[in-house]
């Protein structure tokens, strides 16, 4: 589980925080993450992958 890739979509950006919705479980509450931990070029609707304890943009 720790090494699995988890895909998220940026739901909203609010100040220094982003709210991420897990792509495989839409019933789950959005996750609040400090923007300092995310790629600087994100915007609402961006897709991210969480892997090896870091977030990166999905470029597919």
Residues 9-18: tens digit of each pLDDT: 999 999 999 9
pTM of the model: 0.89
**Dihedral through CA 13, CA 4, CA 54, CA 57, nearest 10?**
-50
Place of tokens 């996750």: 31
Spatial CA neighbour of 25 closest among 8, 44, 46, 42:
8
| CB within 8 Å of 32: residues ≥ 6 apart | 17, 18, 19, 20
Question: How confident is the prediction for the chain on average, in pLDDT?
Answer: 93
Question: If pLDDT is split at 50, 70 and 90, which confidence band does 2 have?
Answer: low
Residues 18-60: tens digit of each pLDDT: 999 999 998 999 999 999 999 999 999 999 999 989 999 998 7
């Amino acid at each position: 589980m720790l090494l699995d890739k988890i895909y998220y979509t940026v739901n909203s950006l609010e100040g220094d925080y982003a709210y991420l919705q897990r792509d495989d479980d839409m019933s789950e509450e959005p996750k609040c993450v400090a923007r300092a931990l995310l790629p600087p070029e994100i915007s609402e609707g961006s897709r991210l992958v969480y892997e090896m304890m870091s977030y990166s943009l999905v470029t597919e």
